[in-house]
Amino acid sequence: MAVARGEFSSKLGFILAASGSAVGLGNIWGFPTQAASNGGGAFLLVYLLLAFCLAFPALMAELVIGRHAKSNAVNALRLISTNRLSYHAGSITGYVGIITASLILCFYALVAGWMLSYFLAPLAELAGLQDISDWLTEFGLYRNILFMLIFMTLTVAIISRGVQEGIEKWSARLMPVLLVLLLLLIVYVLTLDGAMDGVKAYLIPDLSRITDLQLIISALGQAFFSLSLGVGTMLIYGSYISQKENLFHLGRIVTFVDIGIAVMAGLLILPAMYVAQNNGVVIFDAAGKLISEDTLIFTVLPALFDTMGDIGIIISFAFFVLMSIAALTSSISMLEVPVAYVVENHAVDRTRAAQGIGLVIALISTVIAFNFADLFSLTVHATTRFSQPLLGFVLCIFAGWLWHRNKVLAEIKEGYAEVEQSLFWKIWPPYIRYICPLSILAVFVQLAFYNL
């Protein structure tokens, strides 16, 4: 276990890497789609409330545990456990987290591959290669597998380089590009006819819907998935933060960036949907329900871009580059979970670990691609709806009940000496003890009863 551990070189390095993990397909695609199908403004309101009040405290728990243990989730939870039972529960939670993160990557790599192929399609079109462009935008088996493999190769290459040279450097390069592209696209879309209907649907909440249980459950699940919680990603990123940094401050910034980008993505996608509708694309069925939620991005948006003439090709390219970047900074954080475990607990060389695990994930992904109808949504649901909330629940129990309060305080005091006098320290401990686990449990029970 005597492997030299990586550490983020600076505050900004951590912020970019952790926000890179948090900001992904979940924010830019998942959030706006869910907002559109769950009452627009009402969803936004509930999401904001839950993200700040529940997901943020859970993120803090992962960061504090991670930095204290300076290790992966398996070792970290063992370290703070108090007896044999909690020791084993900690190990199992860590392992389930590793498996969940890996399985999330299996489906994530397929979707990210679609993003890659969609950003190449306009280039092929510009080069006059219409056949290739068509092939790139048809959901064929070989295209899916090829682009999943390309995406996995990129992920493995970055993770092989380690914390500073890989994760930190690439997140620092990619995250600002993502932000600028997103802003430019929003400004452009808002100038188009019909966009204001989308802005209204998004920003004016229908207050009668905010008590809708289904809406609350979707918003909570979305908030946890979006902040990469439960699977040990934030725990391991927390373990790379130096003792002199203020964890509360860092966690707060990452939460703001994640929520901010989701909210901005909504400001792009919802108006874009209404612009497309204005241009004759059918988005809602007769009952006012969103058509083809999963593939909305691949049907509605290209249709929208097509109606823009030549500039549409550039916009389409920019949008899918944006999606690919967002996916890559998240996928590296997923692969880091099993890689850190194998490197730390089994003394395997980092590059070999990244390659070996990447290969296994690519193989499972290929199996999913071959049996898409049966396995794709099964994997998505099993990991995001089932495993993530349950893991989040256990992590709160560890931070709130098993780990001694004074030790938690001592850890947070590093880099934040006056924490005891802060509002955060008055609110957070009871939150992590009662409100977070109970809320996650409520979601989990609902999902178990209604969706299985």
Q: Where on the chain is the footprint of ligand PHE (CB under 6 A)?
A: 21-22, 24-27, 101, 104, 225-226, 228, 231, 233, 330, 333-334
The span from the CA of 214 to the CA of 113, in Å, is 30
Backbone φ and ψ of 299, nearest 5°? -110, -55
By C-beta, is 171 or 226 nearer to ligand PHE? Answer: 226
Residues with Cβ within 8 Å of 207's Cβ and at least 6 positions away in sequence, in order, are 42
| 62 HSE (CA, 13 A, CB side) | 33
Q: CB of residue 384 vs ligand PHE: minimum separation in angstroms?
A: 8
Q: DSSP letter string over 190-219? A: HTSTTHHHHHHHHHS--GGGTT-HHHHHHH
By C-beta, is 178 or 195 nearer to ligand PHE? Answer: 178
Q: CB of residue 299 vs ligand PHE: minimum separation in angstroms?
A: 21
By C-beta, is 102 or 133 nearer to ligand PHE? Answer: 102
Q: CB of residue 309 vs ligand PHE: minimum separation in angstroms?
A: 32
111 token code pair: 């979707």
By C-beta, is 98 or 192 nearer to ligand PHE? Answer: 98
The span from the CA of 35 to the CA of 249, in Å, is 28
Nearest Cα neighbor of 23 from 270, 310, 265 is 265
By C-beta, is 179 or 402 nearer to ligand PHE? Answer: 179
By C-beta, is 81 or 330 nearer to ligand PHE? Answer: 330
- CB-CB contact of 387 with 104 (8 Å): no
The span from the CA of 154 to the CA of 161, in Å, is 11
Nearest Cα neighbor of 63 from 239, 255, 252, 257 is 239
Q: CB of residue 259 vs ligand PHE: minimum separation in angstroms?
A: 11
Q: CB of residue 21 vs ligand PHE: minimum separation in angstroms?
A: 5
Q: CB of residue 100 vs ligand PHE: minimum separation in angstroms?
A: 8
